[in-house]
Structure 1
Amino acid sequence: MTHSQQICFVLNGQMARVDPTDTHQTLLQFLRAHPDLTGTKEGCAEGDCGACTIVIGQLDGAEVQYRALNACILLLAQVDGREVITVEGLQDKSGQLHPVQQALVDFHGSQCGFCTPGFVMSLYAHYRNQLPADRQSLKNTLAGNLCRCTGYGPILAAGQAMYGYEAPEQIDTVSLLREIQKQKPLQLDAPGIDPTQTEQLFAPTSEDELQDLMHAHPDAVLWAGGTDTGLWVTKRLSRLPCVILLHKIESLNFMRETPDGYHIGAMTRYSQLTQQITEKWPDFGEVIRRTGSTQIRNAGTLGGNIANGSPIGDMPPILISLGATLVLRKKGSDREIPIEDFFIEYSKQDLRAGEYVQAIKIPNSAAQSQFTSWKISKRFDQDISAVLGAFCLTRDRDKITDVRIAFGGMAAIPKRASACEKALLHTNGDATALAKATKALAEDFTPMADMRASDQYRMQVAQSLLHKALISDSPVYLGKSGGAA
């Protein structure tokens, strides 16, 4: 198969074709090197502050879907075949400001101005998607944009007013995007820091291509949303000899309900999951809402969070509690395992040579149980968990007939609380059973201590969450039976 060595995308309504010289170049670096595109700022280079926010458009049938992303951790190669809109692209041809920009002017939403382009672009994505303009919706959208001048009040007021301005004429980019969809699959070869070494980047469009590439390049880094691997490049300054981008493989991006439960592709983004998950499991949906920022949820994927194997990842404890399984695929075969068996030890997962996480399955039985989950972190929004507890209990009248409890942040891997579960099984979850289960947590975990929390704090939080889960679920504590706490 022949490949393209050129990155092609639509930039502020115009076709852009770039011959890259560095496979690690980020979109932000590309924009900042262009004299007319320096409105997009670098504040943190790790996807936290939002100063680099841009909007990406992706063709979906006859329409373009828009989402805000952080340009600082987005490889330039990831926008191949997409539309990129920066703050410079919002004015119309006559110089008229976009309603978002005019509202920020009218409501004095800019102080020093450094963060302003990022706020503009987050609000612009909100505007393009016609999301509600109430304060809470706007706060959710802007949680990933930081203003050191603390000028949030006027910014929120501008967001509430932006729909009141005359709607602008939007540039139709569908035909341009259709044209570049015909491009050959992307493959970049560029010299590394050592000129005798070549760094490669591939963007396959099918799982067959992915499997062939993994066979040919067994040490390649699989790049999903880039919300973690992007920091390898921008913070560690790592040079990756071979990268395989996964975002163009449509067969990895899906969510469907089957008679057996939910079947979710590994490349399904958090923002694509939120609505359906929230309807089924509200606590799960709330944890997703608090995972990173809007920009991070628009990039990060469920499979990426699992494959990363972090002991403080938010998704694995919840999926363990819900009894989820993983579909691990390599050329010629699939393997399905319980998700708790995937995590072996710190930074080691049960992935065999040539395998990748293809999908996640959540069984229907989980929907029949009482599920609760809580994320504990220093900041409420956009922070990494100190502890995440997930609890799934099934009752027959008062008796607990099945129980699955898992924690993140309590061990070197996301892990079930087996001794705690045993203490609760076949009891009614009364005070005696709860006391035994609380004590059993010390058998299950020897918590780590780090900058986010001490080991004692983590254990105390885990015990408190266990109490909260039992009290919120138990007929004994809710007064639905004759028992007493």
Structure 2
Amino acid sequence: MNLQTKPTKSRHALRFRFRGREVALERFSPRRTVLDWLREDERATGTKEGCAEGDCGACTVVLARLRRGKLTYEAFNACILLLGQLDGAELITVEDLAHGQTLHPVQQAMVDHHASQCGFCTPGIVMSLFAAYHSGAPATAASLCDQLAGNLCRCTGYRPILVAGLATCDGAPTDRFAATAAERAQALAALADDAELFVGDESQFFAAPASLDSLAAVYQRFPDATLVAGATDVGLWVTKLLRDLKRVIWLGRVDGLDAIAEIADGELSLGAGVTLAEAAPLVGTIHPDLSELMRRFGSIQVRVTGTVGGNIANGSPIGDLAPAFIALGGTVVLRKGAAIRRLPLEDFFIAYGKQDRTPGEFVLAIESPRLAAGQHYRAFKVSKRFDEDISAVMMAIRLDLDGRRIAGARIAFGGMAATPKRAANAEKALAGVSLDQPASWRAARAALSSDFAPLTDQRASAGYRMAVAANLVEKALIEISGASAPTRIGALHAAE
């Protein structure tokens, strides 16, 4: 079937490249993961299953894609990547790296530097290093730490792994993949089309619309379908909740959903399909704290596939982007059919698991103003692990100053309620307060108890969350007032 009522070019087979050949699948379960396909269908068991939720990195594979005419290599968690998301890409696994009996340079360095013991995590680590090897930039200890934040090793320790990466990832790849780059890019270009992908029938399908109009049409027709962008959340519905997803609409091929623009007064507009990795440098131009927030947003494997729209649309009370944009005064743009509406981002979240989104309506973009003169911003993430961890408490605050007096405040929290939420009473308590009178800030700290009644869970107790929230408000006030220099782990610092 076509995704639209008007005639359009359609395709009924998933197409990707694997081990030098084109794979075309006309039938597969919409919920099938890449890891299951590799291990069960292809018997490619070098890729391991560890956590099955995208945290440990044992299942890491690399996808090569053409982006703006350039061949790029990105690491993905195969355990939560749906098979249909391979469309138009080349899938590379740990078993594909060696050339005959000759190990890939990254593999050989792992051997030479004694960087593996039990070996269960090693395939994923090798693939993450392989992506860094082809990144086009020389690796540093810091960049490798970021690259490997999503790969856990319980045996070796990370020092020899980092040494192996530093020894090989010099920004000048010389392996057989580099030697055949032109040929492989040509093969991927041959897969690229603007056809509407639809595999299955009306009762069970995997659809990948190629345009915004097609997405609007198919989602209106099947409003009960599951929208999938990066699958960093939906993948867990499959692996942990064992949901049998019958109808899946993948957003990764929708032309225009990844649009980036500056609109009125320099306001930043990010299409819902913009990945977290793509968004990071853009969001960082609003304030340096947001650069650090994005760096700690999951792992590389999560950031290259997870999207801005997905983090907002799933309505998670611990999604970090929502509080960050709410404090800035952000807007969510929604589309249903041909109708488009905008609403303040804080109004999008109604209750736990419930958003102001009607059947067939999807998130089109997120719009965020930049900071004006006299506006000061901070964003803090507190979690058990520093890297690749879900926030226990996330706070973002914008103060509008009139000289040294606070004319207005916007404070948003994640992890403190059933939805991302503003601290309305704390905001009122700060109105008119002087930055030069720290004693007057205490009312805002106290007001948080009337704004929130947090839960106790595995990440933090209710008491801990309340104490952290109050301390983060005071920390932001101390920094903005200039009473103390900004402090960040790793010598990072905030800037106006």
For normalisation by structure 2, the TM-score amounts to 0.91
1:124/1:368 Cα in 2 relative to 1: closer, same or farther (>3 Å)? farther
Determine which of 57, 61, 78 is the counterpart of 2:85.
78
Determine which of 205, 225, 241 is the counterpart of 1:236.
241
Q: Distance in 2 between matches of 1:178 and 1:186?
A: 17
Give the total of aligned pairs: 471
Matched, 1:175 2:186: yes
Question: By how many angstroms is 1:66 displaced?
Answer: 1.8
Q: Distance in 2 between matches of 1:69 and 1:412?
A: 30
- Comparing 169-178 with 180-189, which one deviates more in the overlay? 180-189
Q: Distance in 2 between matches of 1:314 and 1:412?
A: 14
Deviation per CA, 1:40-83: give whole Å up to 9, x if none. 11111110110110111221232222211101101111101111
- Comparing 231-240 with 169-178, which one deviates more in the overlay? 169-178
Question: By how many angstroms is 1:448 displaced?
Answer: 1.4
Q: Tell me which amino acid in the other structure corresponds to 1:181.
A: A
Q: Distance in 2 between matches of 1:263 and 1:108?
A: 47
Q: Provide the secondary structure at the position in 1 that maps to 2:365.
A: strand
1:340/1:174 Cα in 2 relative to 1: closer, same or farther (>3 Å)? same
Q: Provide the secondary structure at the position in 2 that maps to 1:253.
A: coil
Q: Tell me which amino acid in the other structure corresponds to 1:470.
A: L
Q: Provide the secondary structure at the position in 2 that maps to 1:439.
A: helix
Aligned counterpart, 2:111: 105
Equivalent residues in 2 for 1:347-426, closer than 5 Å: 347-365=353-371, 369-426=375-432
Q: Distance in 2 between matches of 1:61 and 1:199?
A: 33
Deviation per CA, 1:132-185: give whole Å up to 9, x if none. 422111111001001121431110110010146972242231111111113742
Matched, 1:211 2:216: yes
Q: Distance in 2 between matches of 1:216 and 1:158?
A: 52
Matched, 1:332 2:343: no
Aligned counterpart, 1:42: 49
- Comparing 115-124 with 269-278, which one deviates more in the overlay? 269-278
- Comparing 425-434 with 386-395, which one deviates more in the overlay? 425-434
Deviation per CA, 1:393-413: give whole Å up to 9, x if none. 121220112211011111111
Aligned counterpart, 1:251: 256
Question: By how many angstroms is 1:468 displaced?
Answer: 0.2
CA-atom RMSD in angstroms: 1.9
Q: Distance in 1 between matches of 2:148 and 2:169?
A: 17
Q: Tell me which amino acid in the other structure corresponds to 1:223.
A: V
Question: By how many angstroms is 1:34 displaced?
Answer: 4.5
- Comparing 13-22 with 134-143, which one deviates more in the overlay? 13-22
Aligned counterpart, 2:199: 188
1:463/1:106 Cα in 2 relative to 1: closer, same or farther (>3 Å)? same
Question: By how many angstroms is 1:367 displaced?
Answer: 7.6
Unaligned stretches of 5+ in structure 1?
A: 191-196, 479-485
Q: Tell me which amino acid in the other structure corresponds to 2:189.
A: R
Question: By how many angstroms is 1:437 displaced?
Answer: 0.7
Q: Tell me which amino acid in the other structure corresponds to 1:10.
A: R
Q: Provide the secondary structure at the position in 2 that maps to 1:96.
A: coil
Q: Distance in 2 between matches of 1:202 and 1:366?
A: 42
* Contact in 1 for aligned 2:222/2:360 (Cα 8 Å): no
Sequence identity (%): 47
Question: By how many angstroms is 1:364 displaced?
Answer: 2.9
* Contact in 2 for aligned 1:366/1:392 (Cα 8 Å): no
Determine which of 88, 93, 109 is the counterpart of 2:95.
88
1:251/1:368 Cα in 2 relative to 1: closer, same or farther (>3 Å)? farther
Question: By how many angstroms is 1:35 displaced?
Answer: 5.1
Q: Distance in 1 between matches of 2:245 and 2:173?
A: 48
Equivalent residues in 2 for 1:309-324, closer than 5 Å: 309-324=315-330
Q: Distance in 2 between matches of 1:100 and 1:366?
A: 47
Matched, 1:221 2:226: yes
Question: By how many angstroms is 1:280 displaced?
Answer: 3.0
Aligned counterpart, 2:76: 69
Aligned counterpart, 1:276: 282
* Contact in 2 for aligned 1:373/1:388 (Cα 8 Å): yes
Q: Tell me which amino acid in the other structure corresponds to 2:204.
A: E
Determine which of 26, 35, 39 is the counterpart of 1:32.
39
Q: Tell me which amino acid in the other structure corresponds to 1:248.
A: R
Deviation per CA, 1:314-372: give whole Å up to 9, x if none. 11111100110011111121111110010111111111232111001111346862111
Question: By how many angstroms is 1:19 displaced?
Answer: 3.5
* Contact in 1 for aligned 2:61/2:91 (Cα 8 Å): yes
Q: Provide the secondary structure at the position in 1 that maps to 2:79.
A: helix
Aligned counterpart, 2:468: 461
- Comparing 346-355 with 42-51, which one deviates more in the overlay? 346-355
Equivalent residues in 2 for 1:289-300, closer than 5 Å: 289-300=295-306
* Contact in 2 for aligned 1:40/1:51 (Cα 8 Å): yes
Matched, 1:345 2:351: yes
Q: Tell me which amino acid in the other structure corresponds to 1:66.
A: Y
Q: Distance in 1 between matches of 2:309 and 2:226?
A: 14
1:379/1:261 Cα in 2 relative to 1: closer, same or farther (>3 Å)? same
Aligned counterpart, 1:194: none
Deviation per CA, 1:100-148: give whole Å up to 9, x if none. 1121111111111111110011011111112342211111100100112
Matched, 1:162 2:168: yes
Q: Tell me which amino acid in the other structure corresponds to 1:122.
A: S
Aligned counterpart, 2:120: 114
Deviation per CA, 1:238-284: give whole Å up to 9, x if none. 01221111011131113233433111011111111122322431111
Q: Distance in 2 between matches of 1:406 and 1:117?
A: 40
Q: Provide the secondary structure at the position in 2 that maps to 1:129.
A: coil
Q: Provide the secondary structure at the position in 1 that maps to 2:418.
A: coil
